[in-house]
Amino acid sequence: MTRIETPVADVDPAPSADDITDNSPARYIARVSLSTGQELDERVEPDELLVHAHRDHHPIEVAAQFLASRLIQITGREQAVRGGLRFVNDFAGWTADTAGSLLGSPLLTQYAKKAMGVTARDYGFRFRETTHYSEREVRSRIERLQKQASAALKARGKSPKLRVLLTGATGFLGKELLCQAAADRRIEELVAVVRPETVRDPKTREVVRVLSPQERGEILLDRLFIPSASRKKYRFVAGDIEQPLLGLDPGELAKLSKTLTNVIHCAASVSFDDPYDKSFRANVLGSRNALAFSLALQEAPGSPFIHHIAIETSYIHGRKKASFAQEESLVFPRHFYNNFYELTKAMASIETDRFMIEKGLRVSQLLPSIVIGNSRTGNNRGDTKVVNAPINAFGRSHEAARKASRSPIDQARTRAVAFVAQGFPGDPSAELNLVPVDRVVAGILAALTAPDAIGNRIHLATDNRIRSIDMVRICREELGVAVRLTDPTVFRNLTLPIVKAVLEKLNEPKLANAIEKLGTIFGGYSEWGQPIHRVGNDVRMLGLPLRRPNTEHAFRMLCRHNRYVQEFGKIRDLEEIARREKVWDTLVDDIELETGHEAGAIPPEEFRQFLEEKIDLRAFQARRKSPASLGRRSGAAIERARGRA
């Protein structure tokens, strides 16, 4: 059952909305005394809930983190190294206290601790309790909600037809949902809430036209190659998640209250470097509005509503230093959050719990990890964010170095830029939890008819995480780029300022900003001691296959997609990307049919041979007839691939 764990005693009642500004973290998080366990009457600022609030404030601390990373690589004993760091910190604190006590000078103690980089706080943070009901009462309420959802589902017959409302349809995850819904016979209608889109001239920024939700929807379905026979199930309506009741027209609201069976709230800000206010509006306020909308549907007379599906992130557990992030509970992380995205998603999850326990909303929470492209093809619908961003940066810098003019000065400058751009903040031992988008969407759609998922958090993550060192190896094999891993602590405090200065001297301010942004986004996720996300509910409750996608294969296909289909982000036109992805799909199907192996398992050179045989890379079109020589090479490649069985 879903619960929030409170590690200290004497839970104080949550303050009312009148006592706290609407977007204050204190609505969800309390500052508490570590000695008494009582809440402290002090303002909670968003910035102090991030990792950087208590990191890298002293040269000794920076050196200690760097040495710890090296020791972990040498010994492989992370727990012991972390214990050693705590011992050194405690011993330094004891030494300072003893010296100050002997000399009778508290001021000396303070200066000594500061000089030795001793970190100590007399307060901590905890999540406010969602409710003060007993655990037994909470369990009873959740079981009642599950039974209600099961009854509503059974009322629709043995083969229930569902009418689903989706937010975030134009995003990466939303596009995959639209695509998979086309073949899902349970979904009779899918209503997507989208805003009108203003199209501007790329040079003058003047408004060219405004696309209505219906027009945006038709364009989206065209790009996804949704067959005409399936298009009748889609409908696009105007709305805004940051508005009450999603900003829907009253007439539309009345219609939906009589027909909708499920709501999938997928819309969110996935920018890891967004400021707090923007993240709060998209992730917390948007979630609150979607939950209130679903509650209104559920309470409407004669409503066929079954339940609400909230899409969150497994990183609501924050920085846990290699400890397990359990699906069933949410504990305020000892090392706090990497960014405001994680923080506000955790706050949204608490809001979801409140709607469920206090107001009786039937809701399940699905928590994907870091979502990447399709597991078989790497297709990402033109996305250039998150993991795609560094891959594209590496690829572009490598290509620029290869194509540099013969001028010695130009070559030296280009190589210097490439060298700087191909450094990445990452500890070799860091493990990232990457999950393909098709696995995530399969879980979301399975949840539509899984009443037992109500009242549970379900990690849509993987049990075969990928290390930074393996990602670097695959980038070298697939892109020809010798990416260098830089210790994240050293990168933040030493390398990045130097790199920025060098690039600005070389008249590369955009690249300097991009590298700073990449360091900001990925620095926290590529340090040693990443959380381990427990999985299992995706199989037990949603019925997904026990064997999760091979992460290395999926990452390899992502690299290939970015290189060949998107040309490292240079192909930006979404129509052209959609056309290329259609060709790419066929290519991958053909290769797997001929070899009997997943495309991601085929070595880079052999894959390249298949690619050149079947596609004209300049036009990115399928070849009508392959040259005989290429055919012979392909035949040999097939034999080699089959030999790896």
For 432, list phi and psi in degrees, rounded to 5.
-105, 140
pLDDT level of residue 19 (50, 70, 90 thresholds): very low
Give the span between the Cα atoms of 249 and 236, in whole angstroms.
13
Q: What is the pLDDT of residue 97?
A: 65
Q: What is the per-residue pLDDT across 65-98, written as a single tens digit (0 to 9) for each?
A: 767 666 766 776 767 766 676 666 666 666 666 7
pLDDT of 13: 40
pLDDT of residue 342: 94
DSSP sequence for 467-497: EHHHHHHHHHHHH----EEE-HHHIIIIIHH
pLDDT given for residue 100 in this prediction: 62
What is the pLDDT, as a whole number, of residue 119?
A: 62
Instruction: Report the pLDDT value the prediction gives residue 11, as an integer from 0 to 100.
Output: 34
Question: Are 497 and 515 a contacting pair, CB within 8 Å?
Answer: no
Beta-carbon count within 10 A of 67 CB: 14
Class at the top of the CATH hierarchy for domain 132-373+434-460: alpha beta
Half-sphere exposure (Cβ direction) of 475: Cα atoms closer than 13 Å: 27
Residue of higher predicted confidence among 353 and 382: 353
What confidence tens digit (pLDDT) does each residue in 221-251 have?
999 999 988 999 999 999 999 899 999 999 9
Confidence of residue 530 (pLDDT cuts 50, 70, 90): confident
Distance CA 558, CA 465 (A): 16
Please answer whether residues 458 and 368 qualify as being in contact, where contact means their C-beta atoms are separated by less than 8 angstroms: no
Residue range 197-218, pLDDT digits in tens: 888 877 888 888 889 999 999 9
Give dist(CA 89, CA 117) in Å, integer.
8
Give strand pairing partners of 364.
309
pLDDT number for residue 85: 64
Give the pLDDT band of residue 285 (cuts 50, 70, 90).
very high
At residue 610, what is the residue type?
F
pLDDT in tens, 135-148: 899 999 999 999 99
Residue 614: C-alpha distances to residues 554, 559, 589, 611 (Å):
22, 19, 12, 5
Contact call for residues 342 and 316 (beta carbons, < 8 A) = yes
Return the closest-CA partner of residue 342 out of 100, 187, 524. 524
DSSP assignment of 167-230 equals: E-TTSHHHHHHHHHHTT-TTEEEEEEEE--EEEE-TTT--EEEEE-HHHHHHHHHHHTT--GGG
Integer-rounded Cα Rg, in Å, for the chain is 26
Q: For the chain, which residues make up each domain, given as ranges? A: 3-126, 132-373+434-460, 571-645
Is residue 628 very low, low, confident or very high in pLDDT (cuts 50, 70, 90)? very low
Looking up tokens 């405690």 gives 90
Nearest to 190 by CA among 147, 224, 157, 148: 224
Contact between 528 and 430 under an 8 Å Cβ cutoff? The reply is yes
| Beta strands 532-533 and 484-486, pairing class | unpaired
pLDDT in tens, 472-499: 999 999 999 888 888 888 887 788 788 7
Per the confidence metrics, is the pTM higher than 0.75?
Answer: yes
Share of the chain above pLDDT 90, in %: 56
